[in-house]
Structure 1
Amino acid sequence: MITVSSLRHLRIPFSLFLMPVFFFALALTPNHNDSRILWVFLALHLFLYPSSNGYNSFYDRDEESIGGLKTPPKVTPDLFWLSMLFFALAILIGFQINWEFASMILVYGLVSMAYSHPAIRIKKFPWASWFIAGFFQGYFTFAMAYVGLSNLSWSTLLKPHVIIPGMLTSLMLWGSYPLTQVYQHGEDSKRGDLTLSLKLGIKGTFYFANVFFILTGIAFVWYFIEKNQENVLWVYLGAMAPIILYFLIWFSFIRTNAEKYASYSWAMGMNVISALFLNAFFIYYFFENTQILQVFGY
């Protein structure tokens, strides 16, 4: 029997925060197809990410706030099987495109399991978990979506036109990922998980994120200039402005009282504002880069 608790632990709405990577891949995909767009979106956002969320919740058994759940309900045994069902459905949907896309879903899922499974628990290792999470949720997810959207193969992952934008998404996540851990120091310490944020400290996490936000901004500016898309560059900077403003305001409060403001509500606020503006930007970039609107006379 599937419990309401397990359905909540899937945290399906949390997929919103990873959608910018999908829309970025969609904007650069040369061979659009309506059914492939639908299959890739469903496989990743409705099944793969929730499967990962549920699996990690099953082994973490958090009692305090986690991403997408301020008060997580008690974990029940059916959560494990529900997460496995969602994982299997993601792979099956992947086969609707090709076996390469399905196998990439498999790889992503296995790495995600290794992140929390007690036998491996990558989460215990601060730098490894930081790098792996940013790499797989960024570059690998971008490449996986690109492969699925255009019905391509594993060799696509080594193409410069995939590596460069894919690594840009990883840069974004390497900056923001530690910020999602600042309110979980107590819970992580009790479990013996030395996350990067715990290692850096609260203020150190913000200084670290600040450096990566600057690097990410410079990298995206270079990318759009290289593509002769200065008009897109200004829209990108406009989309980033409220995100950076929120971060700086949050950072100013952290400097006055780190323990008080390293909270779930501030971290989720950062996630929400980032997702809204980055999703909006990459949807705009999809229309601009593909010139689809011009086909319809806009």
Structure 2
Amino acid sequence: MVQKSTIQLLRIPFSFFLMPVFWFALSFVEKINVPDTVLLFFIIHLLVYPASNGYNSYMDKDTTSIGGIKNPLQPTNQLFVFTVIMDVAAVLLSFFISPLTAACIFTYIMFSRLYSYRRIRLKKYALAGYLIVILNQGALIFFTVFNAANNDADTVVPWAGGICATLLIGGFYPITQIYQHKEDRNDDVETISMLLGETGTFIFCGIIYALAFLILFIYFLSVNKLLLFFILFIFFIPVAIYFTVWFLQVNKNAACADFKHTMRMNKIASACTNMAFITILILNQL
């Protein structure tokens, strides 16, 4: 029987927060291989991401709020077994798309494990942990989706897309750590957000997002699709408003850098970016 803690700690709904990179990568593909794309969506969002979440929870054994869960249950050995089964299934299913896709998925899983595994635990190093997350969830996922979904084998992976995917994760990830400073410190983990502090985290994320949008502007301008940039910009207005209001609140009262505000930020940002990239994807296919 599947235990309640196992289901909770896989955090399958959390995949929604990471989904924008998938749609973003897909929006760069002109001729989409639909069956492979659907299979890859299942592999990434229902196997790889949940298994990564579960393994991290198994190693951390959190007693306070984590991403998407206010009161996490304690993990059992069943959770570990599930993560292994899901990882193996993800790699094997990826071979139905291509050996390259399987290699990419395997690489993602390995770095995810190195990030959490207690004897290595790259997450305890602020810069190393940050780079692994943004390169894994950004550039690697972008590359994986673009190659797997593309019917044209000769198409070159757009450099702007890979860089922007990395920057978008890079501007999002530190915010998700902002309420966990005490818990991370107790666990001997130093995050990029801890180094920056609450105010510094907001400023850093704002700069990274601005850089991502600058590169997107240059890219869309170069391919004569500037209208798509402005559509994207419109979708990001609610994100920018909440981000600014929350930043001002934290400046007045550091206690506002809490789980509730962070999850609200995650939901707004994920909903807006998912809708933005799906809209651009549809327009590019017309």
Q: TM-score, normalised by structure 1?
A: 0.92
Q: Which residue of 1 aligns with 2:116?
A: 116
Distance, in Å, in 2 between the alignment partners of 1:88 and 1:144 is 17
Q: Which residue of 1 aligns with 2:163?
A: 167
Q: Which residue of 1 aligns with 2:19?
A: 19
Report the CA distance shift for 1:15/1:185 in structure 2 as closer, same or farther (over 3 A). same
**Does the CA-based 8 Å contact 2:239-2:265 persist in structure 1?**
yes
**Do residues 75 (structure 1) and 75 (structure 2) align?**
yes
Which residue type is aligned with residue 10 of structure 1? L
**Does the CA-based 8 Å contact 2:5-2:75 persist in structure 1?**
yes
Which residue type is aligned with residue 286 of structure 1? L
**Does the CA-based 8 Å contact 1:139-1:163 persist in structure 2?**
no
Q: Which residue of 2 aligns with 1:202?
A: 198
Distance, in Å, in 2 between the alignment partners of 1:237 and 1:140 is 24
Report the CA distance shift for 1:105/1:151 in structure 2 as closer, same or farther (over 3 A). farther
Which residue type is aligned with residue 284 of structure 1? T
- With 51-60 and 282-291 compared, the bigger mean Cα shift is at 282-291
Distance, in Å, in 1 between the alignment partners of 2:134 and 2:159 is 14
Q: Give a deviation string over 1:105-145, Cα, whole Å, max 9, x none.
A: 00000000010101211111101111111111001100011
The 5 A counterparts of 1:1-298 are 1-150=1-150, 159=156, 161-258=157-254, 260-291=255-286
Q: Give a deviation string over 1:199-256, Cα, whole Å, max 9, x none.
A: 1111111111121122122122112111211211211110111101110000000100
**Does the CA-based 8 Å contact 1:97-1:151 persist in structure 2?**
no
Distance, in Å, in 2 between the alignment partners of 1:84 and 1:190 is 28
**Does the CA-based 8 Å contact 2:37-2:145 persist in structure 1?**
no
Q: Give the paired residue count.
A: 286
Which residue type is aligned with residue 79 of structure 2? L
**Does the CA-based 8 Å contact 1:175-1:213 persist in structure 2?**
yes
Q: Secondary structure in 1 aligned to 2:27?
A: helix
Which residue type is aligned with residue 264 of structure 2? G
Q: Secondary structure in 1 aligned to 2:70?
A: coil
Distance, in Å, in 2 between the alignment partners of 1:60 and 1:93 is 28
Distance, in Å, in 2 between the alignment partners of 1:38 and 1:213 is 29
Distance, in Å, in 1 between the alignment partners of 2:230 and 2:29 is 22
Gaps of 5+ in 2: none
Distance, in Å, in 1 between the alignment partners of 2:132 and 2:89 is 24
Shift of 1:151: 6.4
Which residue type is aligned with residue 99 of structure 1? P
Q: TM-score, normalised by structure 2?
A: 0.96
Distance, in Å, in 1 between the alignment partners of 2:199 and 2:152 is 43
